[in-house]
Structure 1
Amino acid sequence: MDEYTPCKKPDPTAREAIGNVMRILRTQRKKPNKYNARKTVMCGHVFDSKREAEIYLDLLSRKQHGEIIRIGLQPSYTLLAGFKDNTGKNQKPITYTADFFVTYADGRNEVIEVKGVRTRDYQLRKKLFLHMMRETDIIFREVR
């Protein structure tokens, strides 16, 4: 009677080895943005989407023609200041970061938000921002 030896797994074939390598590479790839937006680099600035970069180029050309005085990128606004709750725990402030702040030659100020998908979080922050800015001369514009 022969002695029992456990079954030894055969060496992988070239096809199996390539498949294993491809599986490893796929898991190491960066996940795409959940809204399919690709980061775009334009004029030394990184934009969250191609559409946002296009809007920036349009604003730059209008600035060169003298229609726009100033273009601000990613202006941040505090919607609700941080505070300590009744248990003594610090609560972080709620902020809203727009895509652009534009000052026109005629004196108008405008906040521009480039949006693809309008999430519930965005809609709430937008409403809080509009409430905060209701007594100012700042215009809010959403671009799709």
Structure 2
Amino acid sequence: MSKYNATKVIVTPDGTLFEAWLVEKYELDVQGILFDSKMEGEYYQELLLKKKYGEIKDFSCQPKFVLQEQPKITYIADFLITDLDGSKRVIDIKGVETSTFMVKLKLFQALYPTFHIEILIKKRGEFVPLEQVKKEKAARKRARNKLLNQAEGKMKNDRNSWNGNEIHGNQKRGRR
């Protein structure tokens, strides 16, 4: 396990994914690229297919960007993709968004404005932009809160009408 409990994986040149701990346990001779998480390895597999089918021009793993010289601060992204039109995209696969990453992201965007950066997470078996997931989550939360507020309002109305009947009922009993 690496940090954040991610399972390290090895992806061979043909795109086969092996969990690193199994390779070590059984002392297998597996040659390939080591990734810090299974999600990164799976995205690498997707990139291999996209390159094979001509959807992207090229890609590289673990590109390093210097954000500051003194003290030296570097940002190592997960992938750098060159699209068919020659434009470049930086891809970062995230399971957890840390405060350190957020600071480095802001520095990166300020220093490298020509690069488009995409932060992806895996949801329901496919890679989607983190911003999209955040928007969907916020929309679900708003809808849930709206329903809760409606239910609470209905419960208040029911309580008030019930309390009103109760009071009238007691008053009637007291008069007898």
TM range (shorter): 0.5 to 0.7
Q: CA offsets, 1:1-35, max 9 Å, x none? A: xxxxxxxxxxxxxxxxxxxxxxxxxxxxxxx4341
1:119 equivalent in structure 2: 98
Which one of 35, 49, 69 corresponds to residue 57 of structure 2? Answer: 69
Give the match's secondary structure for 1:51: helix
Q: How does 1:59-98 map to 2 (within 5 A)?
A: 59-82=47-70, 92-98=71-77
Give the match's secondary structure for 1:72: strand
Higher strand share: 1
Q: Percent identity?
A: 40
The normalised TM-score by structure 2 is: 0.56
Which one of 43, 49, 68 corresponds to residue 55 of structure 1? Answer: 43
1:33 equivalent in structure 2: 2
1:101 equivalent in structure 2: 80
**1:75 Cα offset (Å):** 0.4
**1:106 Cα offset (Å):** 1.9
1:110 equivalent in structure 2: 89
Q: How does 1:4-19 map to 2 (within 5 A)?
A: none
Q: CA offsets, 1:84-139, max 9 Å, x none? A: xxxxxxxx3111000000001122210000111111111100110011112x2x21
- Structure 1 stretches of 4+ moved >4 Å: none
Q: Which residue type is aligned with residue 81 of structure 1?
A: E
Q: Which has the higher contact order (CA 8 A, sep 6+)?
A: 1
Give 5+ residue unaligned stretches, structure 2.
Answer: 13-31, 122-176
Q: For 2:51 and 2:62, how far apart are their aligned partners in 1?
A: 18
Higher helix share: 2
The normalised TM-score by structure 1 is: 0.67
